[in-house]
Amino acid sequence: MDRRAFLRAVGPATAVGLAGCIGGRSANTDYDVGMGAKVFRPQELRVEPGTTVTWLNTSKQGHTVTAYEDTLPEGADFFASGGFESEQAARDAWGNSSDGTLFEGQSFEHTFEVRGEYPYFCIPHERGGMVGTVVVTDDPETTEE
């Protein structure tokens, strides 16, 4: 079983539109982390180094995917929807003009090379608890470290 297929298999049973899926994978179903009203699903995703993770806004609300810069593993790249280079830049841009927002059906990707834990959040729903973690590990199929 390939890695992405495994991740989908253990991921959220989120209902998404099925139009256009006949005979293959549509863009709307090919994602690793979905989004509810104020939640990332799954909240924790475990992947091997080198994995490209795709987030898809499967809700009607606008969200962001924004890394907590201060807690990134050493040597890891910052990531944020909108392509900002720092957490502060992402927060400022969202505050000024909602830049970096993923609207319904929009996706964001990041490739994780460095092992470790990557907490991230949604800027407008951070206070509502919309946070998640990507764990990059050589052994993604267990939940014990």
3-state SS assignment for residue 114: coil
Q: Which stretch binds Cu ion (CB under 5 A): 10-18, 46-54, 107-115, 122-130?
A: 122-130
Q: Nearer Cβ to Cu ion, position 76 or 130? A: 130
Interacting residues of 118 by C-beta distance below 8 A, sequence separation 6+: 67, 71, 72, 73, 76, 79, 112, 133, 134, 135, 136
Least Cβ distance, residue 47 to Cu ion (angstroms): 22
Nearest distance from C-beta of residue 39 to Cu ion, angstroms? 8
Q: Fill in the amino acid letter for 108.
A: F
Using CB under 5 A as the binding criterion, the count of chain residues that bind Cu ion stands at 4
Residue with smaller CB distance to Cu ion, 110 or 125: 125
Contact 32, 45 (CB under 8 A): yes
CB of 124 to Cu ion, least distance (A): 5
List the one residue from 130, 134, 135, 136 that touches Cu ion (CB under 5 A).
Answer: 130
- CB 138 within 8 Å of CB 115: yes
- Give the one residue of 63, 90, 121, 132 binding Cu ion; rule: CB under 5 A: 63
Q: Is 122 in the site for Cu ion (CB under 5 A)?
A: yes
